[in-house]
Amino acid sequence: MENDQDKVLDELTSGEYKYGFVTDIETDVIPKGLSEDVVRLISAKKEEPEWMLEFRLKAFRHWQTMKMPAWAHLKIPEINYQDIIFYAAPMQKPAPGSLSDVDPELLKTFDKLGIPLGEQKRLTGVAVDAVMDSISVKTTFRESLAELGIIFCSFSEAVREHPSLVQKYLASVVPYTDNFFATLNSAVFSDGSFCYIPKGVRCPMELSTYFRINASNTGQFERTLLIADEESYVSYLEGCTAPMRDENQLHAAVVEIITERGAEVKYSTVQNWYPGDKEGKGGIFNFVTKRGICKGDDSKISWTQVETGSAITWKYPSCILRGNNSVGEFYSVAVTNNYQQADTGTKMIHIGRNTKSTIVSKGISAGFGQNSYRGLVKVLGKAEGARNYSQCDSLLLGDKCGAHTFPYIEVDNPSAIVEHEATTSRIGEDQIFYCNQRGISTEDAIGLIVNGYAREVINKLPMEFAVEAQKLLQISLEGSVG
């Protein structure tokens, strides 16, 4: 029985990465390395205004004084920043107006990834901003969104077309001095998505950004800025994949969300960067800073993430709950298999009165994976009536992996109620036995249990994504289990 279970686990945890292909496309790359000249070059390539360049240079100069953080429960090999290409763009005509202007090779790539760039009627549910390496390739449904006053475009376009909005909000949540990787991103970010939902508008479709790393030796540094004005609502999705390579590629992104009074943003991520091979060779280093601020009263930010890829994940989507009665949520499933490492979690900073936050984190470790939850719940003195509930569970599949929980709770207000609970266990033999008894094979039983375990989080994803996420769990952990 024991052996049987181990064998099944082995099979389940050895699924292959499906998105590891490389697109053969002509790419405009700049020389390796990082210097002030490179920062200027990136800015020049993007034909940016002076203030943008100033911002980058400020960040770069600050970055030079910083050291890589060492507090995470991760073993990060030394990263040589002079050996990375900081800008790589697929060659194409400037600003493709219609789909026919986009390189067919690119279209094929995104088709293969299941991300249609054509605005087909049957898939009207989602508008996509597709980002390949350093630049945005195509943003769909721009026009129909614009009718409602919604701005959804690539970051570079936003800098050109809506400079006042960008200037007002850029780095207002994640300042350029925030942390090592956010500062690096501020200096060299190449593209990303920009989204503005005007007052009282409920965005009729899911907005999404799809990130693809294609060129080798490059790093991807994108920046997303999402602004939800008063009483508006948007659901935002983010997906990502990369080719299989032996080298480690760096991905250091920044996401900023601002919600005004009564606004709600739901941000979902299915992260499926290449995790490296079974020996832990290659894979993406995913060092991401994501933070939202509930600026106005009664606003809400909800983060949902399914983290299955990346060799190393270092990511803490956070909420600053400044408005009274604002709500922050964080739902996460993180899977580490083979030699993957993840140190992920959230920060909930309660500033306003009657602010509420919920944290549900589910870690799954298999193979030699190390999975850590690290979270901070901070209640400031003025946050009368703050409420937090956190639940962080870990599931261990196999005896060589690790699961760790590092919550930090800081409470400075007596009316706050903060609760944290966590459990760590493996799939019980009694659970498997129960299923076996009812004619469910061990393999199916494990699948059922893992899926049931992650259900609470997956349920929070938009429908299209939930299906993908469930499949991903299967690929990451399961061979044929449904």
Residues 323-362 close enough to bind another protein by CB under 8 A: none
241 interacts with another protein by CB under 8 A: no
At its nearest, how many Å lie between another protein and the CB of residue 5? 11
415 interacts with another protein by CB under 8 A: yes
What is the H or E stretch that residue 188 is in? helix 180-188
402 vs 29: CA distance, rounded Å:
39
What is the H or E stretch that residue 466 is in? helix 463-477
4 interacts with another protein by CB under 8 A: no
174 vs 226: CA distance, rounded Å:
12
430 interacts with another protein by CB under 8 A: no
> Residue 178, Cβ neighbours under 10 Å: how many?
18
Q: Which of 192, 292, 407, 462 binds another protein (CB under 8 A)?
A: 407
Q: Which of 18, 426, 455, 471 binds another protein (CB under 8 A)?
A: 426
Quote the tokens at residue 157.
């376009």
228 vs 463: CA distance, rounded Å:
22
Residue type, 210: Y
User: For the window 60-99, what string marks contact with another protein as x by the rule CB under 8 A?
Assistant: -----------x-x--------------------------
407 vs 393: CA distance, rounded Å:
12
455 interacts with another protein by CB under 8 A: no
Residue type, 18: K
Residue 128 three-state SS:
strand
451 interacts with another protein by CB under 8 A: no
| Interface segment toward another protein; rule CB under 8 A; list 137-145, 285-293, 295-303, 408-416 | 408-416
Q: Which is nearer to another protein, 195 or 366 (CB)?
A: 366
| Interface segment toward another protein; rule CB under 8 A; list 121-129, 267-275, 336-344, 419-427 | 419-427
Which residues are CB-contacts of 354 (< 8 A; sequence separation ≥ 6)? 324, 325, 384, 385, 386, 387
At its nearest, how many Å lie between another protein and the CB of residue 447? 18
Q: Which of 41, 74, 165, 422 binds another protein (CB under 8 A)?
A: 422
Q: Which of 74, 76, 123, 411 binds another protein (CB under 8 A)?
A: 411
Radius of gyration of the chain (CA): 22
Q: Which is nearer to another protein, 136 or 338 (CB)?
A: 338
412 interacts with another protein by CB under 8 A: yes
Residue 448 Cα to chain centre, angstroms: 26
Q: Interface with another protein by CB under 8 A: which residues?
A: 71, 73, 379, 381, 394, 396-426
